[in-house]
Amino acid sequence: MRTVYCGEVNESHVGQEITLCGWVNRRRDLGAVIFLDLRDREGIVQVVYDPDLPDVIAKANTLRNEFCVQVKGKVRARPEGQINKDMKTGAIEVLGLDLVILNKSAPLPLDSNQTNSEEQRLKYRYLDLRRPEMTERLRFRAKVTSAVRESLESQGFLDIETPILTAATPEGARDYLVPSRTHKGSFFALPQSPQLFKQLLMMSGMERYYQIVKCFRDEDLRADRQPEFTQIDIETSFMSSDQVMQVTEKMIRELFLKLLNVDLGEFPRMPYSEAMTRFGSDKPDLRNPLEITDVADILKDVEFKVFSGPANDPKGRVSVICVPDGATKFSRKNIDDLTKFVGIYGAKGMPWLKVNDRDAGLDGLQSPILKFLTEESVNTLLDRVNAKTGDIIFFGSDTYNVVTESLGALRLKLGEDLDLLQGEWKPLWVVDFPMFEEVDGQMHAIHHPFTAPTNLTAQELEANPVGALSDAYDMVLNGCELGGGSVRIHNQDMQAAVFRILGISDEEAQEKFGFLLEALQYGAPPHAGLAFGLDRLVMLMTGATSIRDVMAFPKTTTAACPLTNAPGKANPVQLTELGIQTIAKEIKAD
């Protein structure tokens, strides 16, 4: 029906008759002449209808936004003074010779000025996706997946599918359950990741596997989470963690270079402990120059219990952030607002100190806590953070977790509010994660229970699980975790030791992972892998603020689909076949 796309008409077509198909993006009626901006997937071109063809111009006069039309016309160059340099096709226009209305459009439920709520945009997603901005994001996403496949397949990886209907696996979120009609009372689970299957593929001798795969997690949502999302899932045999990082770093660097013409360079590596100490996060944004500095040793002996208490507590932390040139930027109200902000993360307050004149000693400082500190401790603290005249220092003093989380969040907020971010892209690897964390006396795996420890035997791991490091790694870019992975346990004794540490009984282990444990008995190779969040990667690369803007048909933050009204009620006949009975929600009387 067409001979060329709207967005691909150029000066080489001048003098040619062409046929276009698309949607009316805008119609301008100048009386005797009608201008159409005609849009398709590739872009927009201007079509001009002159009064020389009265029947055609009469038809053009009936057009409205989003009418679907076919246009036949002759390409001509625009006069020099009328060239639109902001438009891909701005050097030419199409003189309309014929017009076919393929389909009319009802009045649009979406505002063309984009004063639409996200609920409206998702309800009429097929209209929202017509916007060039949204079209381009989905085109870019397709380019990303194509480049990923090209990179991995050039390195010997096989694209292998894994089941969607499977058994529940412990990934840290609730499973979506699917009832079985043929096995009444039993349920499949939708996979939170293909974790166990990709390990089994390594045990099957596939050696290098990848899959661009849907995953499902029933968890609370926010801008970068969805109940169904897409992973670039990768697993390898006979490769160390260093080699896995080299392979996947190569893929990401090729991706950015090919699609954005950006050379990310070599990715630095940072231990988890250093990331938490300096940045208060295991996914630090290195574009932000602000850092957290520990000062507990300086304040252990001061009279101010707010400092000395946590400074002398093994589970406490006393730290500061020094903001260059911040003394005049923060009024008392600003500081009170920041104090409320860190309170979200459990901080009971936020002492501060302004350096009005570093050369004037204590007289050049301003702080409500200054009277509680010695001159020696203050000077030592100022030297440690390299404070200069005009700086302001914010303190955190509490348990380790409260200080780390609150100052980590404060660092990010200050970086954004003060426009401190430097450079466009800052990647890194975060490595040497703790193997476990203890919560209320119960040990939990930081990654998952199939992650191998670093350079430990099973006996050594059980003797000191709290001090163990995992052979795990996360790729971080601009404060976002792009992907994470680890070396897997391929030894049955080590896997049993980890289960014991986590309090998983032999019976429970057999029930949940019996097939995996059995497979470990038959010459399972050393293997390791990594999974990237495709949606998050595309979000970062396109500059979108939510992964919903790089997915064709996402859910809302309540995990609902306004377009299809899902989830919905099930047919009673279906429920009977499945052996399921629903319980009506009780409505309490006032």
Enumerate the known binding-site residues for L-aspartate.
Answer: 171, 217, 447, 488
Distance, C-alpha 283 to centroid of its chain: 12
* Type and span of the H or E element at 573: helix 572-578
What residue type is 270 in one-letter code? M
Cis ω for the linkage preceding 567 (within 30 of 0)? yes
Measured CA distances, 135 to 43, 131, 561 (Å) = 10, 6, 20
**C-beta atoms surrounding 318 within 10 Å:** 25
Virtual torsion, Cα 227, 147, 262, 234, nearest 10 deg = 60
Known binding residues for ATP are 217-219, 226, 481, 533-536
Question: Are 235 and 196 contacting, i.e. CB atoms less than 8 angstroms apart?
Answer: no
Measured CA distances, 298 to 14, 262, 368, 383 (Å) = 76, 44, 19, 11
DSSP letter at 107? P
Strands of the sheet with 158-159, listed across from one edge:
158-159, 208-216, 228-237, 527-533, 480-487, 472-477, 427-431, 269-271
**CA 222, CA 158: separation in Å to the nearest integer?**
33
- Give me the residue label for tokens 């980590």: 408
The vertex-125 CA angle with 121 and 131, nearest 5°, equals 80
Nearest to 309 by CA among 398, 372, 403, 393: 398
- Token output for 561: 């689909």
Virtual torsion, Cα 336, 339, 341, 344, nearest 10 deg = -140
- Token output for 564: 């299809």
Known binding residues are 171, 217-219, 226, 447, 481, 488, 533-536
Please give the span between the terminal C-alpha atoms of the chain, in angstroms, as a whole number.
Answer: 64
Nearest to 223 by CA among 555, 548, 572: 548
